[in-house]
């Protein structure tokens, strides 16, 4: 399976509490709900397309707890996202939860996260998807395990909060697989990690040149 990461991000890279003020107030965060003003048809279409690719799901504990408290209440048979979230096999990364309550949670990963996740991706299937799960995503990035990022970046600066890539994160470049500008002005990108590259500008014989240093 491919390991794919899905998240919403502000212009300043914050991914904390996009859905409501009460979603994740940890660390004193009081600006939750910043995605809601940008909800429209294109957003729903993109998110639906994510879950149409799901084989299994992988969550960090905070995101798992939030989703487990919400999505089982959505019983509308026409809600494709709820059907996938509630019905698909789920894996939880946690050192504190021993008896997960969300139906179809098939494993709890308490140690050797990178090794256990690598074992999951070596199994047959389409995508092992991560949604939210800030700390887990950072650990997977550092381990070089993420195959694809799917990110919707919203035209808002939150100013503080949990960021997708922390200061000191392992450097990476990306192939841009897909880009869409949504009706709200949000930008959807599908990114594939590649080795970090850089270059330099210089002047030779009076002309500006560019050299890439791979």
Tens of pLDDT along the chain (214 residues)?
999 999 999 999 999 999 999 999 999 999 999 999 999 999 999 999 999 999 999 999 999 999 999 999 999 999 999 999 999 999 999 999 988 999 999 999 999 999 999 999 999 999 999 999 999 999 999 999 999 999 999 999 999 999 999 999 999 999 999 999 999 999 999 999 999 999 999 999 999 999 887 5
Q: At what angle do helices 134-142 and 61-70 cross, to 10 degrees?
A: 140
List b or e across 51-64, with b for residues whose CB sees 16 or more CB atoms inside 10 angstroms. Answer: beebbbbbbbbbbb
**Is the dihedral angle over the CA atoms 34, 54, 162, 144 positive or is it negative?**
negative
pLDDT tens digits along 137-156: 999 999 999 999 999 999 99
Per-residue pLDDT, 175: 97
Per-residue pLDDT, 26: 92
The pair of structure tokens assigned to 151 is 């990110």
Per-residue pLDDT, 213: 78
Per-residue pLDDT, 208: 92
Q: Is the pTM for the entire model greater than 0.95? A: no
């Amino acid at each position: 399976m491919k390991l794919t990461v899905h998240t919403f991000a502000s212009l300043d890279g914050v991914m904390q509490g996009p859905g409501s003020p009460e979603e994740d107030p940890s660390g004193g965060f009081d600006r939750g709900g910043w995605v809601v003003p940008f909800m429209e048809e294109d957003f729903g279409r993109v998110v639906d397309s994510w879950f149409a690719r799901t084989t299994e799901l992988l969550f960090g504990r905070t995101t798992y707890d939030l989703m487990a408290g919400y999505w089982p209440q959505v019983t509308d048979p026409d809600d494709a996202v709820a059907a996938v979230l509630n019905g698909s096999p789920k894996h939880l990364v946690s050192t504190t939860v021993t008896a997960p309550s969300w139906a179809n949670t098939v494993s709890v990963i308490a140690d050797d996260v990178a090794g256990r996740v690598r074992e999951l991706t070596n199994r047959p299937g389409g995508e092992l998807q991560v949604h939210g799960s800030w700390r887990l995503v950072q650990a997977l990035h550092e381990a070089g395990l993420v195959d694809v990022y799917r990110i919707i970046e919203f035209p808002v600066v939150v100013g503080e909060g949990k960021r997708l890539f922390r200061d000191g994160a392992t450097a990476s470049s990306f192939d841009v697989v897909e880009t869409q500008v949504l009706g709200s002005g949000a930008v959807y990108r599908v990114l594939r990690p590649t080795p970090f590259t850089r270059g330099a500008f210089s002047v030779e014989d009076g002309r500006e040149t560019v050299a890439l240093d791979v």
